[in-house]
Amino acid sequence: MSADNQLQFTVERHPNPTPADKIAAALVDPTFGRVFTDHMVTIRWTEGRGWHDAKVEARRPFQIDPACAVLHYAQEIFEGMKAYRGAEGKISLFRPQENAKRFRASAARMSMADLPEADFLRAVEALVDIDREWIPGGGDGSLYLRPFMFASETFLGVRAAAEYVFCVIACPVGPYFKGGKSAVTVWVSDQYTRAAPGGTGAAKCGGNYAASLIAQTEASQKGCDQVVFLDAAEHRWIEELGGMNVFFVMDDGSLLTPPLSGTILPGITRASIIELARREGLKVSETPYAFDAWQADANSGRVKETFACGTAAVVTAIGNVRHVGGEFTIGNGGEGEVTRRLRTLLTGIQRGKEPDTLGWVHYVA
Ligand code: PLP
Ligand code: COI
């Protein structure tokens, strides 16, 4: 700690960083989450001592004991955010303070150490800075950042761990859906739910994703890209997708999205779309919407468009919906006009092509 109580990061550069030609090759159409940059940031927390040992260093495997708490009781949380190379090569993050805040909320829900927002931000910025050559320029590319934290104590007792590791890694990415599809097909799970009232649905913890995988596998078997989860109590109300929030565009031009009921992730893209749409003069309501209403409204034309949104998926139209009783199409099955307009606006702000009147763009020096 320095005199002003800020963590000091030691920086040890990779002794053999990836040469420029190899980085350039890695940036051509990378598969989401397969290619990683040279460095990582770590900070440790121990009960009684707090946060310490902040480091930027060469990316390397962790050494953990077989009794490491996270391997048994899954105390793990993460974030997903992106660094962009915009006009004139300027590097930026999109609303990173919101990720820092959500990370604290996830940590609180999972009884984990509380990382101050300023330290979260400095860790993310330090990694973006040292691995800036890995940020794709132009097109749909960006550097996906994955801050995460896990219980690192060697102990099998069931209680909140007394030691944690916070880490940030990064990977260059293109579109999340293979081939950059303009519309995806979703599977509505009739059997599995993602989160229940009082559970961890609003936290970004690994366990939520582990529980969703069986439904995601089922979706893939049905030829679908993502799962739509319904509420746990009535199995009726649309909640969100496995890794994205969802919006419906009605025939009067208004937008509808499920409310933050505690069982869905409060997406930063979701919040941004709500604000942008309202600024564009569109009515947005955060209202429960039933699956049978969606089906009837898609068939009658009352629902014109549906889209998924999130950091990885950005804004992606949902063209077809499969469920245990059959299948239906939204609009003409492609990307609708409102979806396109909002996607263009959001990505324009993120990439410095549209004015940032809401102060969402955070430049990395
Ligand atoms: N819902 C789930 C389950 C997610 O995993 C994500 C992605 O992070 C989102 C929603 C969208 O959140 P955000 O827009 O903050 O990326
Ligand atoms: C993200 O969008 O950052 C997520 O974590 C979702 C996942 C589909 C990668």
Question: pLDDT by residue (tens digit) across 33-71?
Answer: 999 999 999 999 999 999 999 999 999 999 999 999 999
What's the number of CA atoms in the CB half-sphere (13 Å) around residue 226?
29
CATH code for position 33: 3.30.470.10
Instruction: Please determine, for residue 213, whether its predicted confidence score (pLDDT) is greater than 60.
Output: yes
Q: CB pairs under 8 A, 24+ apart, for 114-121?
A: 115/43, 115/45, 115/51, 115/149, 115/166, 116/51, 118/6, 119/6, 119/7, 119/43, 119/51, 119/54, 120/147, 120/166, 121/96, 121/97
Is there a single domain that holds both residue 140 and residue 281?
no
The answer to whether residues 155 and 32 belong to one domain is yes
Q: In the predicted model, what is the mean pLDDT of the chain?
A: 96
Same domain for 160 and 270, yes or no, is no
- Can you tell me which atom of ligand 1 is nearest the CA of 245? 10
Structure tokens at 169: 């890694």
Can you tell me which atom of ligand 2 is nearest the CA of 312? 2
Are 46 and 140 in a shared domain?
yes
**Same domain, yes or no, for 220 and 305?**
yes
Same domain, 21 and 167: yes
Number of domains in the chain: 2
Asked whether the predicted pLDDT for residue 3 surpasses 70, the reply is no
For range 211-231, the mean pLDDT: 97
**What's this model's pTM, rounded to 2 decimal places?**
0.97
| Mean pLDDT computed over 184-195 | 96
Residue-number span of the structural domain to which 202 is assigned = 183-350
**Atom nearest to 98 CA in ligand 1:** 15
Task: Reduce the DSSP state of residue 298 to 3 states and report it.
Answer: helix
Per the domain annotation, does 327 fall within a domain? yes
| Atom 3 of ligand 2: nearest residue by CA position | 80
Residue with the nearest Cα to atom 3 of ligand 1? 243
pLDDT at position 1: 52
Residues with CB under 6 A from ligand 1: 80, 240, 243-245, 265, 267-270, 310-311
In the prediction, which pLDDT does 6 show? Answer: 82
Q: Does residue 363 lie within any of the structural domains? A: no
Model confidence at 178, in pLDDT bands (50, 70, 90)? confident
Last residue of a domain, one of 173, 206, 225: 173
* 275, 165: one domain: no
User: Do 167 and 221 share a domain, yes or no?
Assistant: no
Tens-place pLDDT, residues 294-337: 999 999 999 999 999 999 999 999 999 999 999 999 999 999 99
Percent of the chain with pLDDT over 70: 99
CA quadruple 346, 347, 353, 357: dihedral positive or negative?
A: positive
Write out the two tokens for 104. Answer: 């604290």
For residue 306, the domain's CATH number is 3.20.10.10
Lookup: tokens for 144:
């996906």
Domain final residue pick, 173, 208, 241: 173
